[in-house]
């Protein structure tokens, strides 16, 4: 494993994503990507008593499903990288208790899936583990209760607000096996241009996406059209427009760009305003639709660049701005060793 340029790591032994699983709620299942999810749960409580327990159950089911698809048991995993939006990442910690697998708890907001995937890939490529998993989740109701107001309050959502996805995604990586493969990782820097509106996270995160993507292209020498798809998540409709504007200012066209927050819902038909968001948005889109397309040969190269708004209710109420982060992972179809 070596360094390329200022921010990018090249994985000399690219690990393979040997299995993946995506679980979603009813609203997500009713959206354009519904058929790509392994499980669509009609009950938003997932059989539990609270929204937070529902999220933990969803994450646990997703991990179990992905591990089973790979023909493995929990005891075969070297480690799990996991995170969510809830305080102290309780969605992950309670969802993973009882698995007896070494766990790295992560927080990158909506970028957590890319962060977990990057760290899992580097761990396997470096030989520290034969297998590793990356799993993340979010739940509309648990996120609303923590970040905004309880659902019972019935507050109006602004036109720029995004809809937190009820969903989870898990990818299992191994040192060898059928792909897709992870070849490059470009971790991002914290970028803050002073956006303070917690209901316009796309605007807060777009500068970080621009910063990381520009670094990836500069480090690797690849032009944007090297990739069949440049996938951000979750800038939504507004953040994606801002991102494309940044690149157009540089004379670069991102014609092959899409965003998980734009893909997962029907914006008009499902009334999601700015699009989808949440850790589970990019995770479920990646582990369902995107990895499926790579395995089927519809795409050869995909750059997955998940973004996160690093705010909390406390910092927002103190008048702080919203720092953004973006982590990029380069995926290619193929097989290793």
Residues 192 and 152 in one domain: no
Whether the predicted pLDDT of 154 surpasses 70: no
Residues 197 and 143 in one domain: no
Cα distance between residue 85 and residue 90, in whole Å: 9
Domain boundary among 174, 208, 240: 174
**pLDDT score for 2:** 87
Residues 33 and 72 in one domain: yes
Give the confidence band of 162 by pLDDT, cuts at 50, 70, 90.
confident
**CB neighbours of 47 closer than 8 A, spacing ≥ 6?**
54, 57
CATH number for the domain including 10?
3.40.47.40
The count of structural domains within the chain is: 2
Domain boundary among 155, 174, 193: 174
**pLDDT score for 195:** 95
Domain boundary among 125, 155, 174: 174
The average pLDDT across 119-139 equals 97
Residue 106 domain boundaries: 2-174
CB-hemisphere CA count at 13 Å for 31? Answer: 31
The average pLDDT across 4-10 equals 96
**pLDDT score for 337:** 47
pLDDT, averaged across the chain: 94
Residues 198 and 299 in one domain: yes
């Amino acid at each position: 494993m070596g360094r390329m340029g200022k921010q990018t790591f090249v994985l000399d032994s690219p690990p393979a994503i040997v299995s993946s699983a995506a679980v979603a709620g009813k609203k997500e299942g009713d959206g354009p990507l519904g058929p790509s999810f392994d499980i669509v749960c009609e009950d938003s409580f997932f059989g539990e008593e609270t929204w937070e327990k529902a999220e933990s159950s969803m994450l646990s089911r997703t991990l179990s499903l992905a591990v089973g698809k790979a023909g493995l048991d929990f005891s075969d995993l070297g480690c799990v990288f996991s995170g969510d939006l809830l305080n102290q990442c309780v969605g992950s910690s309670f969802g993973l208790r009882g698995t007896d697998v070494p766990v790295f708890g992560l927080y990158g907001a909506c970028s957590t899936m890319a962060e977990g995937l990057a760290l899992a890939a580097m761990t396997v490529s470096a030989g520290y583990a034969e297998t590793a998993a990356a799993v993340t989740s979010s739940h509309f109701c648990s996120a609303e209760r923590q970040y905004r107001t309880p659902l019972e309050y019935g507050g109006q959502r602004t036109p720029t607000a995004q809809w937190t996805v009820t969903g989870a995604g898990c990818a299992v990586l191994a040192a060898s096996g059928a792909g897709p493969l992870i070849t490059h990782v470009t971790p991002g820097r914290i970028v803050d241009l002073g956006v303070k509106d917690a209901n316009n996270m796309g605007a807060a995160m777009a500068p970080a996406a621009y910063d990381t993507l520009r670094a990836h292209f500069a480090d690797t020498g690849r032009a944007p059209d090297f990739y069949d798809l440049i996938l951000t998540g979750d800038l939504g409709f507004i953040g994606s427009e801002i991102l494309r504007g940044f690149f157009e200012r540089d004379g670069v066209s991102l014609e092959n760009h899409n965003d998980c927050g734009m893909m997962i819902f029907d914006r008009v038909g499902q009334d999601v305003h700015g699009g989808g968001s949440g850790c589970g948005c990019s995770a479920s889109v990646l582990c369902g639709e995107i990895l499926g397309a790579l395995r089927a040969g519809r795409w050869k190269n995909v750059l997955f660049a998940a973004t996160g708004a690093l705010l909390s209710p406390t910092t927002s109420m103190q008048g702080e701005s919203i720092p953004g982060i973006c982590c990029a992972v380069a995926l290619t179809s193929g097989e290793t060793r």
